[in-house]
Amino acid sequence: MASFLSAPVVLQILPALHQGGVERGTLEMAQAITQAGGKALVASSGGRLVPLLRSLGAEHITLPGCGSRNPAHVLRNARILARLLGQHNVALVHARSRIPAWTARLACRRTRTPFVTTWHGVHANTMPGKKLYNSVLASGDRVIAISAHIGRMLRQEYNVPPERLRVIPRGADIEQFSPHAVSGQRMHQLAEQWNIPAGSAIILMPGRLSAWKGQALVLQALAQLEAGLPDQPWHCVFAGSDKENGRYVSELTQLASSLGLDDRIRFAGHCEDMPAAMALATMVLVPSLRPEPFGRVVVEAQAMCRPVIVSHHGAAVETVDNGVTGLSVPPNNVEELADAMFAVLSAPASTLANMGQAARQAVLAHYTTQAMQHATLGVYDEVLGTRLASDFLLAKNASAPFQDHDLAG
């Protein structure tokens, strides 16, 4: 084994470092690679998360037009990346998005560098040529699926064999997303910022404002809830940014007004303190109209011991045990969603507490960031013959042994 593999250089590549699940996963793995004694490089076109990446001990390499679909840009960046792989003694490349994956695949073939991919999304292949375009993410020496739902799709539609396919769910940061980690001051500040009256139940829908996430469905269900509980104090907070420059939030505001919900609804925009938001919440809604590839916000809510209501499809089928660790309703069903919200608002506190504790226990067992990091390093070890996964655990145990104090004993 080449000596540089004792401290391997791993390069991750993605379009940019702005905000999203792909970016978060990249930062989490950069941190893990560094903690395991390796060197973490990230190639992208840049973005606001670059300083945070560097603070984790990783190095950023700017690759202009990294997400451009222009074939000339892909070929140019493949040549540049091939040179970089040699200059930095890169042992393995991990691609997380289709265009950067094509760039990386070409560079890795030229340099005979091992190539790993993660399939993060539900990429449709209904248009001619789309399946070929998507297929690069199924072509790695190892292909990581972020849920069993995605793993089944990769087996059935892209014929990824078991020897190359690894299912590694995303995870929640259980130290950050812990009921005892959020101060009353943080919760009070958010409640004031959102103008929530004291004593009001809070129905929280986190995540970007996008039609397929189900915000309009929620408003229709809330209108039914209002009819059934006209005198109970509750407010619904949509905590997420509008990707359509305010156009979609304007549509939702008009819909809320037409349903008589003006005083009940808050469009809060992007929330910088999601643990505090979830600590404030009486329940958390994730009623996506399309199957979620994973849905990290679900396990974050569960880690905060909050009742979560999800649509029964995609990876939510894996993360929510209906009636035990949350509630699951048929997709795009206004009546069932309204009934589930009514059930949470009407449930005894002890019932909700038991559900919350069961939910957090499930997250601790299956869906932590540390488990995702360890398993992904294990994939690198399979390919390289290294010991990154075990070295990572040794480093974690030496610096801060994990114990979930609120559930211990």
Q: Do 125 and 143 fall into the same domain? A: yes
Residue 117 and residue 78 in contact, taking contact as beta carbons nearer than 8 Å: no
Instruction: Name which of 260, 315, 284, 285 is nearest 121 in CA terms.
Output: 315
Q: Which helix (H) or strand (E) holds 108?
A: helix 98-111
Model pLDDT for residues 223-255, shown as the tens digit of each residue: 999 999 888 999 999 999 887 788 999 999 999
Alpha helices, H only, 242-348 = 247-258, 274-280, 296-303, 316-319, 334-346
Burial class of 354 by CB neighbour count within 10 A (0 to 12, 13 to 18, 19+): middle
Q: Is residue 143 assigned to a domain?
A: yes
Residue 272 and residue 239 in contact, taking contact as beta carbons nearer than 8 Å: no
Q: Is residue 313 assigned to a domain?
A: yes
Instruction: Name which of 225, 211, 177 is nearest 360 in CA terms.
Output: 177
Predicted confidence at residue 408, as pLDDT, reads: 32
Q: Do 159 and 10 fall into the same domain? A: yes
- CB hemisphere CA count around 251 (13 angstroms): 11
Rounded CA-CA distance 34/55 in Å is 11
13: its two tokens: 């590549």
Q: Is residue 79 assigned to a domain?
A: yes
Q: Is residue 405 assigned to a domain?
A: no
Q: Do 221 and 156 fall into the same domain? A: no
Q: Do 132 and 216 fall into the same domain? A: no
Q: Is residue 408 assigned to a domain?
A: no
- CB hemisphere CA count around 342 (13 angstroms): 16
Q: Which helix (H) or strand (E) holds 165?
A: strand 165-167
Q: Is residue 349 assigned to a domain?
A: yes
Residue 303 and residue 178 in contact, taking contact as beta carbons nearer than 8 Å: yes
Side by side, which strands form the sheet with 59-62?
A: 59-62, 39-44, 9-13, 90-95, 115-119, 142-145, 165-167
167: its two tokens: 């299912």
Question: Which residue segment(s) compose the domain that 144 sits in?
Answer: 3-171+368-399
Q: Do 186 and 122 fall into the same domain? A: no
pTM: 0.90
Q: Do 128 and 190 fall into the same domain? A: no
Rounded CA-CA distance 21/296 in Å is 8
Q: What is the CATH number of the domain that holds 250?
A: 3.40.50.2000
Residue type, 385: G
Please give the span between the terminal C-alpha atoms of the chain, in angstroms, as a whole number. Answer: 45
Instruction: Name which of 283, 184, 188 is nearest 235 in CA terms.
Output: 283
Residues linked to residue 236 through DSSP beta bridges, in sequence order: 203, 265
Q: Do 359 and 376 fall into the same domain? A: no
Model pLDDT for residues 150-189, shown as the tens digit of each residue: 999 999 999 999 999 999 999 999 999 999 999 999 999 9
Q: Do 115 and 238 fall into the same domain? A: no
Rounded CA-CA distance 376/394 in Å is 16
Rounded CA-CA distance 386/383 in Å is 8
Q: Is residue 406 assigned to a domain?
A: no
Model pLDDT for residues 342-357, shown as the tens digit of each residue: 999 999 999 999 999 9
Q: Do 166 and 227 fall into the same domain? A: no
Q: How far is CA 306 from CA 174, 257, 362, in A?
A: 14, 28, 13
Rounded CA-CA distance 121/285 in Å is 20
Instruction: Name which of 294, 295, 375, 284 is nearest 326 in CA terms.
Output: 284
Q: Is residue 226 assigned to a domain?
A: yes
The per-residue pLDDT string of the chain (409 residues; one tens digit each, 9 = 90 and over) reads 334 567 899 999 999 998 788 999 999 999 999 999 999 999 999 999 999 999 999 999 999 999 899 999 999 999 999 999 999 999 999 999 999 999 999 999 999 999 999 998 776 666 678 888 899 999 999 999 999 999 999 999 999 999 999 999 999 999 999 999 999 999 999 999 999 999 999 999 999 899 999 999 999 999 999 999 888 999 999 999 887 788 999 999 999 999 999 999 999 999 999 999 999 999 999 999 999 999 999 999 999 999 999 999 999 999 999 999 999 999 999 999 999 999 999 999 999 999 999 999 999 999 999 999 999 999 999 999 999 999 999 998 877 644 443 333 2
The DSSP code sequence of 329-391 is E-TT-HHHHHHHHHHHHHS-HHHHHHHHHHHHHHHHHH-BHHHHHHHHHHHHHHHH---HHHH
Residue 40 and residue 29 in contact, taking contact as beta carbons nearer than 8 Å: yes
Q: For the chain, what is the domain count?
A: 2
Q: Do 86 and 163 fall into the same domain? A: yes
Q: Do 132 and 256 fall into the same domain? A: no
Predicted confidence at residue 325, as pLDDT, reads: 98
Q: Which helix (H) or strand (E) holds 397?
A: helix 388-399
Q: Do 65 and 207 fall into the same domain? A: no
54: its two tokens: 């560097």
Residue 376 and residue 29 in contact, taking contact as beta carbons nearer than 8 Å: yes
Rounded CA-CA distance 282/351 in Å is 13
278: its two tokens: 């979830």
User: DSSP letter at 45?
Assistant: S
